A = this chain, B = another copy of it.
């Protein structure tokens, strides 16, 4: 820990990773991004999509090593980052079963663990159940740290891939009405996404049970950017105007009683009947995994884009890794 951390503390950027806004930058929060930087990222993500379709892989990050520190389980995000690195010719270091058996589990600080990993790797992905863990790791690090979810805090790369999905599926984000449905109180995914969408000229609709409404601080941040938003108790209020139906998990453990949980589940489950009343051009998104929130019969509807959404996630993470490592 010599000069590099100090410089990074001032500029948020580590030296030695090349030029450009993204090079050598820790990726911790959607609050970091401007629209111009998003577009630069998405342009590369589109190229990555075409490249994978044509060639499958591209030796852009040959010889680079990515460390993955996942202190809580993750199938999707961990695999997506790994696949992104592998398809760019790089390699991955994974701390096996880090939540239960790693040095962190034995009492080592996240800062020390990240200092370990950066001794071996060129960048680190950190997921933790603790809000602020990735930021704490970044403050100690001489290599870029990417937040892959910090408790109920942020999940910026999920928000990036969500916006990229809208752009790829609908051509543009401006002008869209985006409706969030489900548990809007606990999901870091919808918090990060609503904040990120407020960079665009969108309308946001929040549909949830009264006990699971979007937190006030997210509403305030969105309002501060002048974005039109409204809260609703029923999907019927807004289904006809919705361009993007963003469905979130309703997790049993958030409820005091099973009856309460079942009531919410039945109210907000998406079925072919729901889609029959939706716009023909609408798309249905979900961060996955889903349990019962979207009926499997919806899967064959061309408006169901949640499986393609995962694939877009890989392209966005390829673009992000290439940019942060100064290669795009």
Q: Which of A63-71, A125-133, A231-239 lies at the interface? A: A63-71
Asked whether A44 is an interface residue with its Cβ less than 8 Å from the other chain, the reply is no
- From B115, B299, B313, give the contact of A1 (CB < 8 A): B299
Of A30-38, A54-62, A176-184, which binds chain B? Answer: A54-62
**Is A310 part of the contact surface with B, judged by Cβ < 8 Å?**
yes
Q: For residues 108 through 129 of chain A, which have their beta carbon under 8 Å from a beta carbon of chain B?
A: 108-109, 111-113, 115-117, 119-122
CB pair B79–A93 under 8 Å, yes or no, is yes
- Residues of B close to A175: CB separation below 8 A: none
Of B75, B112, B299, B307, the residue contacting A289 (CB under 8 A) is B112
CB distance from A319 to the nearest CB of B (A): 15
A76/B63 contact (C-beta < 8 A), A119-B310, A120-B83 known: no
Measured CB to CB, the residues of A under 8 A from B are 1, 55-57, 62-65, 67, 70, 73, 75-76, 78-80, 82-83, 86-87, 91, 93-99, 101-109, 111-113, 115-117, 119-122, 288-291, 296, 299-300, 307-308, 310-311, 313-314
CB distance from A52 to the nearest CB of B (A): 9
Give the docked Cα–Cα distance between A82 and B121 (Å). 10
A-B contact pairs, 24 of them (CB 8 A): A1-B300, A1-B307, A56-B122, A67-B79, A70-B96, A75-B104, A75-B108, A76-B103, A78-B95, A79-B93, A80-B119, A80-B120, A86-B91, A94-B96, A97-B101, A106-B289, A108-B289, A108-B291, A109-B296, A112-B289, A112-B290, A113-B289, A115-B310, A119-B311
Minimum CB–CB distance from A155 to chain B (whole Å) comes to 16
Bound-state Cα–Cα, A211 to B167, Å: 63
**A75, chain B: closest CB distance, angstroms:** 4
Verify B93–A96 contact, CB threshold 8 A.
no
In the bound complex, CA of A63 to CA of B56 (Å): 6
Establish whether residues B57 and A62, one from each chain, have CB atoms under 8 Å apart when the complex forms.
yes
CB distance from A304 to the nearest CB of B (A): 9
With A and B bound together, what is the CA distance between A98 and B289 in angstroms?
A: 14
Q: B79 touching A115 by the CB < 8 A rule? A: no
